[in-house]
Structure 1
């Protein structure tokens, strides 16, 4: 049984701040007199200036409350809003938004090609971020940055700018694997890898940071309200670990005896020949006090040895 706190500590960036350029799939600007009310009716998070700050994380949901994608929306003014997403392409997001524009004074423009994004993590993030924003603005530049809705232990943020920032000399560049190890060890889900089409925000615990239950109507709101009232979901995202190579095939099922209890989502190489992962499991079917077995592909491959139990404490 792997100790969760030791797992997090092993991959934490708290002692050394690092950075890594990441994919920014969509950067849109939404303008017009009706921009605020339009986005308020589409996004799962509260956006009204009187109630929240200018930067907010949330979801685009289907009518059934399933996750279409996630994004951060930044309010520049009453008539100018920016959308940044790492889970949806600009084309998909533009099509989604424009399909709901009927008589609204709203224009959606794709500016993805103008911007780049970086993730930073470590103990220096909180102090560096506001200074960098101020220095960039003083130099006449345009940039955005925010601490992540679910930060890595020690702190993490995402920044967007046209050019790389002047990184502090003692900040090395991290690898993609390092960030994935820290994220998965901490049990932090990512859209769409861990929570995608067909999944609910509550199944990964992301309703706490990405869903407003007080804002009124928006697409998928009725399902969110019903789940909030019932207080339970049928599946939960949990942290798992296994011995040997990282399972390479896309579909990896979790089994207990003859019963399929879930499926592996994110996975990354870990320590001492082990790998780490996040899996979505059935609350009713999975016995959280017992190990689970993994079967790759169509079920004909042999089960992989399990070195860590899936426990309630691992649930995101």
Structure 2
């Protein structure tokens, strides 16, 4: 599916790619510079390729609370959280960023997840007063990421600053752009903001954000640089670093996505039992790839230690300026100690840096 702002990005020199069948800006010609903007200044990215669902109805909060691993009941309008969706065996079926609005709950999820999450929710609807609506045709998503995000927001003239609490959001009625929803969302563990914007105003808002990020020395960035920064920051992505083959605690999202004190939800019994009585045999780890890595290892490349199977690689992020490679991958508990070297299938060494979420 083509981005609503395809022509605008084309005019900026964008090189396009696809993620889960959705058109994405891969880069604008200089991935290294775009990475610098993300990590040191501020960059604007068009994330309208991501899935956006709205849940409405009198039972929306109670229903989502029963479907998600995090505590949705505690959230008030203007608040939000990150959550996972698991099956009855505690395995990850999806994840989402949750934003509670006065009359609806907005879910921002991985591209291509609209049908899967909608089907999952509808499977459990009995007599609940809820409706799941695809919001993507109506609202796009632009995000600003980087340490100068606050400066960017302050220069937009929106009569509103960035909320301080992660996932907190405000509605901004704009006389020209329409109703905008601004949320505090540091997607790379630095500083960040999401703008949910009416599709008709997406191009105009993109222009404003480009000008504002350029004013602090930043500018546009694409998916390639974002992925490099994500891997370096140790942030797992559903469909790549965690799938339905993974238990939620294996992916290191427990502290961000799982409430162990909330009421009943799908998968709760298994996850609570794991936390109390057991230990997962593998964990997602940050890895540094060195010593003869001649090419970018493929997703799924096996890791071994002294000839024994030790895990596998899930994501790789190249750092253009240094030529080094960072990665995420699952490592068995025997070899999770930081500094442990592991052999990569096809050549090279992956050194354990840290356990994600530890």
Normalized against structure 1, the TM-score is what? Answer: 0.82
The alpha carbon displacement at 1:110 in A equals: 1.8
Q: Deviations over 1:152-204 (max 9, x none)?
A: 25323333222153110323101322222222112121112111211122223
Partner in structure 1 of residue 347 of structure 2: 304
The alpha carbon displacement at 1:71 in A equals: 0.8
2:328 aligned with 1:275, yes or no?
A: no
Distance in structure 1 (CA, Å) of the matches to 2:180 and 2:78: 17
Asked if the contact 2:171/2:180 (under 8 Å) is kept, the reply is no
Distance in structure 2 (CA, Å) of the matches to 1:50 and 1:113: 26
Q: Deviations over 1:126-145 (max 9, x none)?
A: 45555377794243723334
- Gaps spanning 5+ residues in structure 1: where? 1-9, 296-302
2:213 aligned with 1:176, yes or no?
A: no
Distance in structure 2 (CA, Å) of the matches to 1:230 and 1:88: 35
Distance in structure 2 (CA, Å) of the matches to 1:134 and 1:74: 10
2:155 aligned with 1:131, yes or no?
A: no
Q: Deviations over 1:7-56 (max 9, x none)?
A: xxx96845311121125442222222222211111111111256796322
Query: Higher mean Cα deviation, 195-204 or 252-261?
Result: 195-204
Partner in structure 2 of residue 3 of structure 1: none
- Gaps spanning 5+ residues in structure 2: where? 1-34, 154-159, 163-168
Q: Secondary structure at the match of 2:330?
A: strand
Distance in structure 2 (CA, Å) of the matches to 1:289 and 1:268: 19
Partner in structure 2 of residue 141 of structure 1: 178
Distance in structure 2 (CA, Å) of the matches to 1:203 and 1:52: 31
The alpha carbon displacement at 1:125 in A equals: 2.0
2:97 aligned with 1:72, yes or no?
A: yes
Normalized against structure 2, the TM-score is what? Answer: 0.73
Partner in structure 1 of residue 257 of structure 2: 210
Distance in structure 1 (CA, Å) of the matches to 2:116 and 2:220: 31
- After TM superposition, the structure 1 = structure 2 runs for residues 96-107 of structure 1, keeping only pairs within 5 Å, are 96-107=120-131
Aligned length: 295
Partner in structure 1 of residue 55 of structure 2: 30
Asked if the contact 2:82/2:257 (under 8 Å) is kept, the reply is yes
Partner in structure 2 of residue 300 of structure 1: none
2:46 aligned with 1:21, yes or no?
A: yes
